[in-house]
Amino acid sequence: MADELILREVHGEVGLVRLNRPAALNALSLPLMNELGDALAAWDSDPAIGAMVITGNNRAFAAGADIKEMADATSVQMLTHDHIGGWDRVAEMHKPVIAAVSGYALGGGCELAMMCDMIIASETAVFGQPEINLGVMPGAGGTQRMVRAVGKSITMEMVLNDRRLSAEEAYQFGLISRIYPVENYLDEALRIAGEIAARAPVAVRLAKESVNKAFEMSLSQGLAFERRNFYFLFSSDDQKEGMDAFANKRKPEWKGK
């Protein structure tokens, strides 16, 4: 239906959310973000789903938070409406989440993509943090996740002077992991998500958690965290299965236990 804010599809073991406000370039309103958070959370606890993909359409992943919704808000309303609540949930998922981006990924759209575990883009993708044009600044990770991805100088240009990155630049700078033609970027994102979903689930979960800790911890804390997760996996059936399958030259059958 045309007026649904998001569309949910299941492709094998992959849950796909299509942001669905094409007339507003998928502007991320509060109701849309709440629905997105609900959809991801449901799949995160569904054993039939192993990975998730968020996409928009060929013209826009998302051109930002909904400016018209925010325009008249006061600081107190922004604070008390819990604007961040719906957004934070995306980064809290235990299962891998991939952003499949074509066209505009601006402001909150770029921040939403960066909350995901990897970004796969079409050749037409454009990444930017243009909030400065509105007299504000990024509020959902644009100054923090971007600087960790592409470094200080490029982030400063993006945040202070609305520099936009093409897909090729975003790839060179390390913001995204793949570029595909616009005709098949989504299929490729679904393919990669499907491959990850077919891997040992407990190992995938702890590996994702460990990589993300690199953004939160010192090196020594992160190394200790990684090591504990590594040791923990030796209590899983899948570790025994994976190593036995290797030794016996057969394909492993994961149980997620």
Residues taking part in catalysis: 65, 108, 111, 131
Q: Is 131 in the site for ligand DAK (CB under 6 A)?
A: yes
Q: How far is the CB of 149 from ligand DAK (least distance, A)?
A: 17
| Out of 106, 159, 186, 190, the residue judged to bind ligand DAK by CB under 6 A | 106
Cβ-based nearer residue to ligand DAK, 29 or 210? 29
Token couple for 60:
């826009």
Token couple for 31:
């109701």
- Residues 130 and 158: their CA atoms lie apart, in Å, by 7
The angle formed by the CA atoms of residues 20, 179 and 216, to the nearest 5 degrees, is 80
Distances (CA, A) of 198 to 192, 204, 215, 251: 10, 10, 26, 12
Q: How far is the CB of 237 from ligand DAK (least distance, A)?
A: 40
Q: How far is CA 90 from the centre of its chain?
A: 7
Q: Is 56 in the site for ligand DAK (CB under 6 A)?
A: no
Only segment of 1-9, 23-31, 180-188, 218-226 that touches ligand DAK (CB under 6 A)? 23-31
Q: How far is the CB of 173 from ligand DAK (least distance, A)?
A: 20
Per-residue binder mask for ligand DAK (CB under 6 A), 140-159, x = binder: x-------------------
Q: How far is the CB of 139 from ligand DAK (least distance, A)?
A: 3
In DSSP terms, 8 is beta-bridged to 17
| DSSP string of 65-107, one letter each residue | B-HHHHTT--HHHHHHTTHHHHHHHHHT-SS-EEEEE-SEEET
| Out of 43, 61, 104, 180, the residue judged to bind ligand DAK by CB under 6 A | 104
Q: How far is the CB of 101 from ligand DAK (least distance, A)?
A: 13
**Which residue sits closest to ligand DAK, CB atoms considered?**
107
| Out of 5, 30, 41, 84, the residue judged to bind ligand DAK by CB under 6 A | 84
Q: Is 197 in the site for ligand DAK (CB under 6 A)?
A: no
Q: Is 96 in the site for ligand DAK (CB under 6 A)?
A: no
| Out of 14, 40, 43, 66, the residue judged to bind ligand DAK by CB under 6 A | 66
| Out of 64, 96, 201, 242, the residue judged to bind ligand DAK by CB under 6 A | 64
Contacts of residue 160, Cβ cutoff 8 Å, sequence gap at least 6: 132
Token couple for 109:
């759209």
| DSSP string of 26-80, one letter each residue | T-B-HHHHHHHHHHHHHHHT-TT--EEEEE--SSEEE--B-HHHHTT--HHHHHH
**Site residues for ligand DAK per CB under 6 A:** 24-25, 27, 63-68, 83-84, 87, 104, 106-108, 130-131, 133-134, 139-140
